Every structure is written in structure tokens, then in C-alpha cells.
Amino acid sequence: MANYINKERRQIDFDPFELRIIAVPEVVAVQFKPRSEHTLLIRIADVGATYQPLKHEALFEAILPVHFNDINEEDDYWGLSDKEQAEMKLFNEVHRDLIYDFVDEHPDFTQIVVHCHAGVSRSSAVAMGIAEHLGDTDTYEKLQVIKRYLPNPRVLAIMRGEAYL
């Protein structure tokens, strides 16, 4: 994980893995060992995709699988078949409510780990949305300065309860 945490290059003065809510790529999540018994995991994958097995699955208090694609309405789907386009699933209010209900059902959590395939777009937007939902401005501000995060604008807007397009 040393390549993921490079404080000098990232110009941050905190360890991202110490945050209350963190977004990581799937390759990190499958090896992630929770530091407490109250760690939650939110797994995000494309519709129809399967998750890689977790090395320490039993150490998570609860795990929520969610399937939606990393797309927005204005994305250009060139090169995709009609079938592939039809199977694309946009993030929506049902996904948001599922995530917030999951978090609210575990109020004693010590950390929430959110992963998607690359740990850049969907997971960072969900992590930021959860931080805002919980009123955790410290974590939210720290998530914003991690340069590898490029939150999906649709996901973040809907997590905030805003209309997207």
C-alpha cells in the first residue's frame, strides 16, 4: 500500500487509511484488514460484474454490495452495442437511500471503506456523500484534498439530494 500513500507527492499531512471514511480501489479493498470490529464495507461494481473475494471478509461488521455504472447521461457511448447501452445503470436515489440506510443501521461504526473498481470516481463520490450525510466536515475536507479522487458528479449530486441534469 506504500504506493497508494505517498504524502510528499500527494501533498497531504494525514494518512488516508486513518480517515473515518475512505475510498479505495478494489485491489486494495480485497486485501484490506479492518483495524476494528466496527468497520463497514461498501462494494461498488458495474451492473452484472462480480466482486473479487475478500481476504478478511469476516473482520467487517457488515458489507453492502451496490451495482451501478460509472456513467452520466451526457457520456458518449460510442463503441458500445445496443445491448451494452441498455444494461448501463445510472446511480439514482434508490442507490443513495440503500447506502444511507446501511450507514444509519450501523451508528457505532469506526470506519467505512468504500470501493469501486479503480477507487477514483464512484467510491470517492459515495465517501464524500456519506461524510456530508453524517455531518463529518473534517473527513469531507480531507477527502477533497486527496488528488487521486475525481468524484463522479452525478453520484455526488444525488448523494447530496440534488437533481442531476
pLDDT of residue 165: 67
> How is the beta sheet containing 21-25 ordered, strand by strand?
21-25, 111-116, 39-45, 62-67
Q: Which numeric CATH code is attached to 14-68+79-158?
A: 3.90.190.10
Res. 3 pLDDT band, cuts 50 70 90: very low
Mean pLDDT for 157-161 is 96
User: For the chain, which residues make up each domain, given as ranges?
Assistant: 14-68+79-158
Res. 12 pLDDT band, cuts 50 70 90: confident
Assess whether pLDDT exceeds 50 at residue 7.
no
First to last CA, the chain: 37
Q: pTM for the full model?
A: 0.88
CB atoms near residue 123 (< 10 Å): 29
Assess whether pLDDT exceeds 80 at residue 158.
yes
Q: Report the chain's mean pLDDT, rounded to a whole number.
A: 88
Q: Which range, of 38-47, 73-82, 112-121, 138-147, averages the lowest pLDDT?
A: 73-82
Cell 479493498 found at: 29
pLDDT tens track for 83-114: 656 666 889 999 999 999 999 999 999 999 99
Distance CA(10)–CA(28), nearest Å, equals 18
Q: Using a pLDDT cut of 90, give the percent of the chain over it.
A: 70
Distance CA(44)–CA(126), nearest Å, equals 10
